[in-house]
Amino acid sequence: MNTSGHIEKPFWGDLPGKCIIFSAPSGAGKTTIVKYLLRQIPNLSFSISAASRQPRGKEESGVDYHFFTVAQFKERIEKKEFVEWEEVYTNNFYGTLKSEVLKAWKNNKIVVFDVDALGGKNLKSIFGERSISIFIKPPSLFVLEQRLKNRGTETPEQIKMRLDKANEEIAHADDFDYTLLNDNLEHACAEIKVIIQDFIQT
């Protein structure tokens, strides 16, 4: 199940600002690349997504995600606190909080999003020319499966569910401004750094 949530329209008033949208299947190396860019390029601000699930492994609320219960997430939907949100699986919600964007832009920062493919497409439709969207592809689904197994944070059933979703997400890669193949992490980081720096300077 992959149900697109309601997409909010512009909410930032006259605030100037840009954003960088990263999407990829789980395990494709997106988080590693985003953390590299945050270390390398000044003036970037990571937008912490919201999720209606429990933390995995060493994840911390307010650091990796804003973790809410399903009821808390639905309450925030009603209050229109999200830029966009999705019900990725039944009662498994993810979303982008307006407060994350406003906080960054008020401090003259460029917002960095780390979202799934549908979230990335939704954000691109909202922010338009203010944004650049990048899809990170794994070398293969086999490599992706091995990475997910090596994390040791999910059951075989959860891994299968993620691989099925990865197939769906990869089909949307061409809808992004750039597609980056992460078959060599060092090369991928160097390539994406150049793309981001060009975007910031335009």
Output the tens digit of pLDDT for each of the chain's 202 residues: 455 555 555 788 888 999 999 998 877 788 899 999 999 998 999 999 999 998 988 889 999 899 999 999 999 999 999 999 999 778 999 999 999 999 999 999 999 999 888 889 999 999 999 999 999 988 777 777 787 788 777 788 888 887 888 888 888 899 999 999 888 889 999 999 999 999 999 8
Contact 110, 17 (CB under 8 A): yes
Count the residues in the chain.
Answer: 202
Q: How far apart are CA 192 and CA 50, in angstroms?
A: 25
Total domains in the fold of the chain: 1
In a domain, 91, yes or no: yes
Residues in binding site for ATP: 24-31
In a domain, 9, yes or no: no
Closest CA to 114 of 8, 21, 1: 21
Contact 166, 172 (CB under 8 A): no
Residues in binding site: 24-31
Enclosing domain of residue 138 = 17-201
Q: How far apart are CA 104 and CA 5, in angstroms?
A: 24
**pLDDT value of residue 51:** 95
Closest CA to 131 of 95, 173, 192, 177: 177
In a domain, 101, yes or no: yes
In a domain, 110, yes or no: yes
**pLDDT value of residue 1:** 46
CATH code, 141: 3.40.50.300
**pLDDT value of residue 53:** 92
In a domain, 27, yes or no: yes
Q: Residue 107: what residue type?
A: N
